[in-house]
Structure 1
Amino acid sequence: MHDTRVPLTPLPTQKRHPMRETSGRRRPLRRALVAVLGALSLAATAATAATPAGASAPTPPSGWSQVFVDDFNGTAGTGVNTNNWQYATGTGYPGGAANWGTGEIETMTSSTNNVSLDGNGNLRITPRRDAAGNWTSGRIETRRTDFQPPSGGKLRIESRIQLPNVTGTAARGYWPAFWALGSPYRGNYWNWPSVGELDIMENANGLNTVHATMHCGTSPGGPCNETSGIGSSTTCQGTTCQAGFHTYAMEWDRSTSVEEIRFYLDGRNYHTVRANQVDATTWANATNHGYFVILNVAMGGGFVDAFGGGPDGNTVPGHSMVVDYVQVLQSSGGGTTPPPTGNRDAYGTVQAESFDQQSGTLTESTTDSGGGQNIGALANGDWALYKGVNFGSTAAKQFSARVASGAASGVSGLVEVRLDSRTSTPIGSFAVGNTGGWQSWRTVPANISDVTGTHDVYLTFTSGQPADFVNVNWFTFGR
């Protein structure tokens, strides 16, 4: 159970070397943000993200099998499928710690006022406050408790979620989460954190920051630094975590020489915990069993207290966490690392460094907001491939790209978007020259031809000069 902890901060970015040899050319090492698709006006983005038609969970890529899925299809105003989920109600587990062990103040219910389908393929978990100031909300858990990777294989748990669209003082106390608990916890309720907890996404107080954490060992302190755990954080890009949908995932990998658990935002791996970071007994106690998955929105508690405090008179109730789907995938060991084919959301943030194939690029740390990595040293003829980008049935008409350039005077080029072949006619492009430096970022919008369905997307780079002209961090599409 996610517990009281101090704020987590992103890992520091590395300083870049001024020059590096790459592909026979001497190229500046620079941070770049390229968003190749989708000029999103803020108003249009917010309107589209707030009421999307729920999409089906992506088809598993080669080497993976789907062991659980819920697309939350059903009649508006009805509850969840209780063959898949069970409600956790009240203010704690029977015989367990009060206030769910975290200090949160709401009462969880099974009422459709708090947990319901919206009729558009989404689940909504909505905190409410009554006239007396009492909060209610919702918490659901998978009935299954056996989610773990096979020996030598992988397990992936993912969901596409829009966080409650509320910020500032109105968001004080909101604590949405998508996470998993070790199966021995169910029915015991006092063996945390030794049985393990994997927080795939937590957010506090409407901030554009999400946290991923593994809890294990003993509390307080211990090998996993409880009650904070082993964690990191990052920001949503393109649209904020609150203004649009983003994909959150955890991949537990037993195919590597050292077992590891990786956490992703929109396909970007921003936090990894490895077995050799703790002693063997601690790791075994946390991982030698299955897990169950939890979705909830808490109000108040130690986590939000660390980010400015819990709910007060300015907090506005009624803002939902909107969940498009939850799925669990399993691989026997040969599955592709994320993002798998067909699992990229065109309207989320596609990280440029998450390419499936490339030619002529390098990957480096960025100093742009949110940190992470970008692709750089991009010049005429270079390209990057992103497989299985899902545009849905309503046509995308725009793209936007986060780019930076320290190109010399007179050096510029085109960032182009092509579908399914790098020699196909571009569906859109924009020109870019010097932006003030290889770490000086801007978001550039462009129009594209209408696109629906799922496609492999190529970013291609064309210039009349041989010199590098752009860095790319991420891209996204808009309607």
Structure 2
Amino acid sequence: MSESSGTPPRRRRSLRRALVALVGTLGLAAAAATLTSPSANASAPTPPTGWSQVFLDDFTGAAGTGVNTSNWQYATGTSYPGGPANWGTGEVETMTNSTSNVSLDGNGNLRITPLRDSAGRWTSGRIETNRTDFQPPSGGRMRVEARLQMPNVTGTAAEGYWPAFWMLGAPYRGNYHNWPSVGELDIMENVQGLNRVWSTMHCGTNPGGPCNETTGIGNSTPCPNTTCQSGFHTYTMEWDRSATPEALRFFVDGVNYHTVTAAQVDATTWNNATNHGFFIILNVAMGGAFTDAFGGGLDGDTRSGVPMVVDYVQVLQAAGGGGGGTTPPPTGNRDAYAAVQAESHDGQSGAVTETTTDTGGGQNIGSLANGDWALYRGVDFGSTAARQFSARVASGVAGGASGLVEVRLDSRTAAPVGSFALANTGGWQSWRTVPANITPVTGTHDVYLTFTSGQPADFVNVNWFTFGH
């Protein structure tokens, strides 16, 4: 979902290639079998070792009663007081606190149900946490997740349905005109009954800006095993302040399909969007810009009364471990789609480690010249091909000299799958992120960064690198 400050409703980008990167370093994949049980009522799982639960609603209570108002408040009407009309998105429903729209089912679930009356008018429900302080501790991590079933409706009958599980930056509450700079984190969105889940970070300025608004920085994937509509799935965002750069990772049933890092925008934009708490929102909108981007069609053929069913919402936190994201996970496996710190190599030739002045601090590797290399074992690209590579690099090489930063798999003498050329960037601590296309890669590989130049002088420093789809 998205709030806008009086601008025309946004349109979302078309379906993008699904990202399916299996991640087990934090126990998400191991828990997936439990979290995707076909049962409609499953207790929130016990937090993994090192994590503590800071919020939970299991939605227990008598059938037909409202939500626990010590946890939640209702957002009603067609806008916030004085805020953009139609919730800033062009949706058409009126949100209510009626148990016809928002109620417990008596079996440990919340049901948010859109309804159409005889005149064709829609009502639905939108609830928000009273708390606005959800954020990771300094140097730590936070996990926000819900186990839910999207409205079980597809095809023409689903046209106009827009369920969502998402968060807004605390400064938005009471202001309502500072979106998107204060940050929006969409953990689960769906439209038109399509078998896809979208996750998005909104930030910066609107329209355009560093976060490509009103679209945001997002991606989507089909739901694993059962469709998003026909079964319960667990939707998770993990916010990692122990990593460098800081990262937001989005999962469905333990599968990491989208990652956003602080390196993707300027420091001011990231700070404005994340340096505060957030509140959590659950709602089902009807109509609006996102549904219009996929055909719209909200009319008398759209089925009334199909709920989004939510089993639980919980928030976990983990204290900082002091690693700063530079140490490989205990298994030795690395996520190709999170930043790999250059100094965390498993072997090297010709590289030295030094303190960096780049954003986030830490260390970089330097003194890299023709014939040097660094090895990173067990990089997991998942089952959907990576097609992009980018690295955070700096160069103070003089005299117009340059060289290539190359990616090779499983052997440092293998043919490069991709590379980019680099010349002087303005200094050895003058950093820039340089992208390159690569030959499609899936599975798990040892990654070699190799450095090739036609002259012997050092030509590059590397802080971190990552891959994309």
Q: Is the 8 A contact 1:153 1:254 kept in 2?
A: yes
SS of equivalent to 1:100 = helix
Counterpart residue type for residue 267 of structure 2: A
Write the letter of the residue equivalent to 2:11: R
Superposed counterparts of 1:200-349, under 5 Å: 200-334=187-321
Secondary structure, aligned partner of 1:176: strand
- After superposition, the C-alpha distances for 1:354-377 in whole angstroms (9 at most, x for unaligned) are xxxxxxx9955436xxx79xxxxx
Tell me which of 127, 145, 155 is aligned to 1:168.
155
Structure 2 residue 131 is the aligned partner of structure 1 residue 144: yes
Give the Cα separation in 2 of the matches to 1:8 and 1:63: 39
Partner residue, 2:41: 54
Matched residue, 2:383: 366
| TM-aligned CA distance change 1:260 to 1:363, over 3 Å | closer
Query: Does the residue aligned with 2:231 lie in a helix, a strand or coil?
Result: coil
Q: 1:53 to 1:88 in 2, by over 3 A?
A: same
Taking the TM superposition and a 5 Å limit, the aligned residue runs for 1:106-185 are 106-185=93-172
**Aligned-partner Cα distance in 2 for 1:54–1:100:** 31
Contact 2:197 2:222 in 1 (8 A): yes
Change (3 A) 1:94 1:57: same
Tell me the CA shift for residue 54 of structure 1. 1.3
Question: Equivalent residue for 1:6?
Answer: 12
Identity %: 72
Runs of at least 5 residues in structure 1 that lack an aligned partner in the other structure: 15-35, 39-44, 338-360, 373-438, 440-479
Summarize deviations over 1:362-399 as a string: whole Å, max 9, x none.
Answer: 955436xxx79xxxxxxxxxxxxxxxxxxxxxxxxxxx
Q: Could you tell me the TM-score, scaled by structure 2's length?
A: 0.64
Kindly provide the amino acid, as one letter, of the partner of residue 263 in structure 1.
Answer: F
* Selected match of 1:66 from 44, 53, 60: 53
1:78 pairs, out of 65, 73, 83, with 65
Deviation at 1:10, TM superposition (A): 3.5
Change in CA separation of 1:298 and 1:60 when aligned onto 2, cut-off 3 Å: same
SS of the residue corresponding to residue 148 of structure 2 reads: strand
Measure the CA separation in 1 of the matches of 2:125 and 2:14: 25
Ranges in structure 2 where 5+ consecutive residues have no aligned partner: 4-9, 21-31, 326-377, 387-441, 443-469
8 Å contact kept, 1:259–1:274? yes
| One-letter identity of the residue aligned with 1:106 | E
Change (3 A) 1:37 1:95: closer
**Alignment-mate amino acid for residue 145 of structure 1:** T
Kept after mapping to 1: 8 A contact 2:71/2:129: yes
Instruction: Give the TM-score normalised by the residue count of structure 1.
Output: 0.63
Q: How does 1:12-51 map to 2 (within 5 A)?
A: 49=38
- Amino acid of the residue matched to residue 7 of structure 1? R
CA apart distance, 1:276: 1.1
**Would the aligned equivalents of 2:150 and 2:163 in 1 still touch at CA under 8 Å?**
yes
Contact 2:133 2:170 in 1 (8 A): yes
Hey, what does 2:92 align to over in structure 1? 105
8 Å CA contact 2:184–2:202 kept in 1: the answer is yes
Asked whether the 8 Å contact 1:8–1:231 carries over to 2, the reply is no
Describe the shift of the 1:174–1:365 C-alpha distance in structure 2 as closer, same or farther (beyond 3 A).
same
Secondary structure of the residue that 2:284 maps to in structure 1?
Answer: strand
Give 1:237 shift: 2.0
Whether contact under 8 Å (2:128, 2:282) holds in the other structure is yes
Q: Give the deviation of 1:8 after TM superposition.
A: 4.5
Q: Return the alpha-carbon distance in structure 1 between the equivalents of residues 168 and 284 of structure 2.
A: 16
Instruction: Please state whether the residue corresponding to 2:191 is helix, strand or coil.
Output: coil
2:74 aligns with 87
Take 1:13 and 1:211, find their aligned partners in 2: how far apart are those partners?
Answer: 11
**What is the CA distance between 1:222 and its match in structure 2?**
0.3
Structure showing greater relative contact order (alpha-carbon pairs closer than 8 Å, 6 or more residues apart): 1
* C-alpha contact (below 8 Å) 1:150/1:332 kept by paired residues: yes
SS in 1 for 2:228: coil
What SS does structure 2 have at the residue aligned with 1:312? coil
Partner SS for 1:169: helix
CA offset at residue 322 of structure 1?
0.4
Corresponding residue SS for 2:269: helix
- In 1, the alpha carbon distance for the partners of 2:56 and 2:183 equals 23
Are the equivalent residues in 1 in contact too, given 2:14–2:293 (CA < 8 A)? no
Quote the Cα distance in structure 1 between the aligned partners of 2:19 and 2:53: 35
Q: Separation in 1 of the partners of 2:295 and 2:282?
A: 23
1:181–1:197 CA contact under 8 A, matched in 2:
yes
Aligned to 1:236, the other structure's residue is in SS state coil
User: Which structure has the larger Rg over C-alpha atoms?
Assistant: 2
The AA in structure 1 aligned to 2:180 is P
Q: Retained in 2: the 8 A contact 1:301–1:310? A: no
Whether the aligned pair in 2 keeps the contact of 1:129 and 1:136 (CA below 8 Å) is: yes
Select which of 186, 195, 201 maps to 2:173.
186
State the shift of 1:327 in Å. Answer: 0.1
Backbone CA RMSD of aligned residues: 3.0
Trace 1:374-393 onto structure 2 (pairs within 5 A).
Answer: none
Q: How many residues end up aligned between the 2 structures?
A: 322
Cα distance, 1:308 vs structure 2: 1.0
Residues 8, 232 of structure 1: 8 Å contact kept: no
Distance in 1 (CA, whole Å) between partners of 2:257 and 2:383 is 13
Q: Deviation of residue 320 (structure 1)?
A: 0.5
C-alpha displacement of 1:5: 2.6
Q: Give the direction of change, closer, same or farther, for the CA distance of 1:252–1:191 in structure 2 (3 Å limit).
A: same
